[in-house]
């Protein structure tokens, strides 16, 4: 009875959102402690190493998550779905091992081009393991959403995160430097990996009744290989994401010093914390959107579109107004004056939440459902070049300022979202006619 009462007032979206907001709030505090202990110069060095790793990881990641979302809903038979998830995790494990090898050797070779600080081998080893394990953690977390056990997932994710915070801060406080940061990140992700795998196995056995130790994959390996076209375009799209959200920090570090790079990193970190709303909604809505598209339930799809747009407008307005009023005090008294100059970049980067929550969350499932990533990938590459062109021009001819890179980052979405709208409209025109009839532009 208490649980039924709880579910009445906390839908899966509200509960996951609440958990993620709390986690994000704690994460923001951890980030502030980290920034105060290390300072912008050390953050700049860390940003260079992580930027290289992020770029390599994105380059190797073939975006199997897009294939999983499509294959999982093709059949309702339990063991078929279990095999889809198991094969996904097997491929993810192989890719994680490849990432470690590439990350270690490329960072040793390339880091000197972006910072004058000597990169120690220990930093490289710790961070290589961190990114490989973190990739696997993300794979396990992603497949959990298909069980739709959102209350269980949210609760465990919160408990796992508390353990990570304890481990990370304990190690960082004892060694407040770049090496301590990488060591803390490594042991934290080891904890995350062990506990996340345990939760997945528990869900499979207790609720989904998958035969997880079976050698019979029911031909699912072959089904994955049949999706090579989707994988190809998804992988190519991953290169664009690498430019957009990974190598952008390296671009800043190449044209500016470690301090400006550190300011841009803290601005990205704080603005990215607002994406908690997208993550929460997407965990629940992505499976729902895919189900509705498979059933041709366009009326329900339109309702979710309107809900996404309304939530995006409200959340972005509240965040931007709050930052406009209080950001200068936050930087001065919380981050300390060492981080003065990051304010405008934080404000600009936070505005991208509107495009991600309001549009990306429902446009993307349409493209995935129809297997039409080719044109979108091409336009994403164009958007990435636009972002870099704006960033380089402003850094070179205006000012070496984190806001210059933030404007380039915003330009990516200003170009890409209208293109996504156009492509999705050609695939599902009935959805857009319905939106007009429902008065979307009058809301």
Q: Annotate 252-315 with DSSP letters as a single string.
A: HHHHS-HHHHHHHHHHHHHHHGGGHHHHHHHHHHHHHHHHHHHTT-HHHHHHHHHHHHHHHHHH
**Total domains, the chain:** 2
Residues spanned by the domain of 23: 9-226
**187/301 same-domain check:** no
**289/172 same-domain check:** no
**153/277 same-domain check:** no
Write down the pLDDT at residue 228.
Answer: 62
**219/269 same-domain check:** no
Judge whether 270 and 282 are in contact, CB under 8 Å.
no
Residue 289 lies in a domain: yes
Write down the pLDDT at residue 187.
Answer: 94
Residue 65 lies in a domain: yes
Entry pTM? 0.63
Report the C-alpha gap between 124 and 132 in whole angstroms: 12
Write down the pLDDT at residue 348.
Answer: 92
Kindly tell me the sign of the dihedral angle through the C-alpha atoms of 201, 205, 210, 211.
positive
Q: List the structure tokens of 349.
A: 């980067």
Write down the pLDDT at residue 317.
Answer: 92
Report the C-alpha gap between 432 and 305 in whole angstroms: 10
**31/102 same-domain check:** yes
**201/292 same-domain check:** no
Q: Of 180, 208, 226, which one is at a domain's C-terminal end? A: 226
Residue 243 lies in a domain: no
**288/415 same-domain check:** yes
Residue 125 lies in a domain: yes
Judge whether 422 and 432 are in contact, CB under 8 Å.
no
Residue 2 lies in a domain: no
**202/309 same-domain check:** no
Q: Of 209, 226, 243, which one is at a domain's C-terminal end? A: 226
pLDDT tens across the length of the chain (443 residues) = 455 555 656 677 678 778 878 887 888 888 888 888 888 878 787 877 777 777 777 767 766 776 777 777 777 777 777 787 888 888 888 888 888 887 777 777 776 667 767 777 777 788 888 888 888 898 888 888 777 788 888 899 999 999 999 999 999 999 888 889 989 999 999 999 999 999 988 988 888 777 777 777 767 777 777 666 666 666 666 666 666 676 777 788 878 877 888 888 888 888 887 777 777 777 777 778 887 887 778 888 888 888 888 888 898 999 999 888 888 878 877 777 778 778 888 999 999 999 988 888 888 888 877 767 667 777 888 888 898 899 889 888 776 788 888 999 999 999 989 988 888 888 877 777 656 555 444 44
Residue 121 lies in a domain: yes
**129/266 same-domain check:** no
**340/204 same-domain check:** no
Least Cα distance to 250 among 106, 44, 415 occurs for 44
Q: Of 211, 226, 241, which one is at a domain's C-terminal end? A: 226
Write down the pLDDT at residue 188.
Answer: 94
**201/278 same-domain check:** no
Residue 242 lies in a domain: no
**184/266 same-domain check:** no
Residue 241 lies in a domain: no
Judge whether 106 and 56 are in contact, CB under 8 Å.
yes
């Amino acid at each position: 009875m208490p649980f039924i009462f709880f579910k009445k007032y906390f839908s899966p979206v509200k509960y996951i959102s609440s958990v993620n907001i709390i986690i994000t709030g704690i994460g923001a505090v951890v980030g502030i402690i980290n920034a105060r202990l290390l300072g912008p110069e050390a953050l700049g060095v860390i940003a260079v190493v992580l930027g290289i790793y992020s770029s390599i990881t994105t380059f190797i990641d073939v975006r199997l998550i897009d294939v999983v979302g499509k294959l999982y809903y093709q059949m309702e038979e339990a063991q078929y779905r279990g095999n889809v998830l198991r094969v996904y995790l097997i491929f993810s494990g192989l890719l994680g091992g490849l990432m470690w090898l590439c990350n270690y050797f490329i960072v040793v070779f390339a880091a000197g081009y972006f910072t004058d600080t000597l990169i120690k081998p220990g930093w490289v080893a710790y961070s290589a393991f961190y990114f490989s394990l973190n990739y696997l953690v993300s794979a396990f977390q992603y497949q959990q959403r298909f069980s739709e056990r959102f209350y269980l997932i949210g609760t465990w994710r919160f408990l796992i995160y508390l353990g990570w915070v304890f481990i990370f801060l304990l190690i960082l406080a004892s060694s407040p430097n770049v090496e301590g940061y990488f060591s803390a990140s490594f042991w934290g992700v080891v904890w995350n990996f062990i506990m996340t795998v345990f939760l997945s196995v528990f869900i499979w056995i207790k609720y989904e009744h998958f035969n997880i130790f079976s050698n019979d994959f029911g031909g699912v390996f072959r089904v994955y290989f049949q999706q090579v076209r989707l994988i190809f375009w998804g992988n190519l799209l991953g290169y664009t994401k690498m430019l957009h959200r990974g190598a952008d920090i390296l671009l800043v570090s190449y044209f500016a010093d470690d301090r400006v790079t550190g300011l841009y990193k803290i601005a990205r970190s704080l603005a990215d914390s607002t994406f908690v709303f997208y993550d929460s909604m997407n965990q629940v809505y992505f499976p729902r959107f895919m189900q509705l598209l498979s059933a041709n339930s366009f009326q329900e799809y339109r309702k979710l579109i309107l809900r996404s747009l309304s939530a995006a407008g409200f959340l972005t307005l509240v965040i931007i107004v709050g930052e406009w009023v209080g950001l200068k005090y936050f930087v001065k008294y919380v981050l300390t004056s060492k981080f003065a100059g990051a304010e405008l970049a934080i404000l600009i980067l936070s505005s991208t939440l509107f495009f991600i929550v309001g549009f990306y969350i429902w446009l993307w499932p349409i493209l995935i459902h129809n297997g039409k990533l080719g044109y979108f990938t091409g336009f994403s590459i164009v958007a990435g070049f636009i972002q870099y062109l704006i960033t380089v021009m402003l850094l070179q001819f205006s000012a070496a300022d984190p806001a210059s890179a933030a404007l380039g980052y915003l330009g990516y979405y200003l170009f890409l979202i209208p293109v996504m709208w156009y492509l999705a409209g050609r695939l599902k025109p009935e959805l857009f006619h319905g939106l007009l009839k429902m008065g979307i532009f009058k809301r």
